[in-house]
Amino acid sequence: MRTESQVLRGQCALVTGGSRGIGLAIAQRLGALGARVAVCGRNAAALADAERSLRAAGIEATSFPADVSRLSEVARLVEQTTARLGDVEILVNNAGVGMFGAAHELSENDWDRVMDINLKGVFLCSRAVAPQMIRRGRGQIINISSLAGKNAFAGGGIYCASKWGLQGLTACMAEDLRGHNVRVSVICPGSVDTEFSPHAGKDPLKMLRAEDVAHAVEMLVTQAPGSFISEILLRPTRKP
């Protein structure tokens, strides 16, 4: 674990979808900055592995299984996190799913699954922690979106719709909460070399790494108190 900067010492960070890939990289980075970290996900075994790896790096960490699309599970997640680590001061809404194909060929279940995780989950988690942040007079909510929230492509109808919706939700929440000194930001990465989607035909060496997204999160949580970076568009140097 890095020790040269502990700017988040004592703060509680909750990362959804934190058992692997981008979410785990973000949890590791926040922990390295001194935060106490909680991660959630739907795979209990993967969560246990993630918690062990975080603790092995000297990070105060815990994990809780949760489906962020279910109100009761989100309420329990925030309650458990608060009881274990304190009020949530940093929320990273990273949990997401991808469903690709022509929109007219996909099912209602496909639509519901993507929207429930990618959009409803952000709404539920943010709503659950916002009262804590308002009461404390500070906080940071970071939503992990995608350049698919900016660009259309064949086969991306449902996924793009969820991410375009996330852009709008983030912007409106930012206006709702900025008067309470709570910053709401969105990060839109391009193709990241994880197991999330197949990336057929793309060169992994030309893609973003999970650590690149974690670095963008670090930029947001360490910015000066009087500034507000609302959106980060993150692209690889070379097109994959």
pLDDT tens figures, 116-171? 999 999 999 999 999 999 999 999 999 999 999 999 999 999 999 999 999 999 99
Give 45-88 pLDDT, tens digit per residue: 999 999 999 999 999 999 999 999 999 999 999 999 999 999 99
Q: At what angle do helices 121-136 and 71-85 cross, to 10 degrees?
A: 40
Residue spans per domain, the chain? 12-234
The token pair at 191 is: 């193709």
Reported as a single tens digit per residue, the pLDDT across 185-224 is 999 999 898 775 556 667 777 889 999 999 999 999 999 9
Q: Residue 1: pLDDT above 50?
A: no
Task: Find the helix packing angle between 121-136 and 157-177, rounded to 10°.
Answer: 10
Helix 44-56 × helix 21-32 angle, to 10°: 30
- A 10 A CB-CB count for 2 gives 13
Q: Active site includes 61?
A: no
| Strands (DSSP E) found in 5-87 | 12-16, 36-41, 61-65
- Provide the pLDDT for residue 198: 53
> Global pTM?
0.94
Distances from the Cα of 57 to the Cα of 5, 36, 195, angstroms: 15, 12, 23
Q: How far apart are CA 103 and CA 162, in angstroms?
A: 13
User: Which residues in 33-61 are b (16+ Cβ under 10 Å) and which e?
Assistant: bbbbbbbbbbeeebbeebbeebeeeebbb
Q: Which of 119, 62, 128, 129 is nearest to 95 (CA)?
A: 119
Which architecture does CATH list for 12-234? Answer: 3-Layer(aba) Sandwich (3.40)
Task: Kindly state the helix (H) or strand (E) to which residue 232 belongs, with its residue range.
Answer: strand 231-234
Query: Which candidate in 22, 38, 97, 159 is catalytic?
Result: 159
- Identify the helix (H) or strand (E) that includes residue 185: strand 182-189
Rounded to an integer, what distance in angstroms lies between the CA atom of residue 50 and that of residue 61?
9
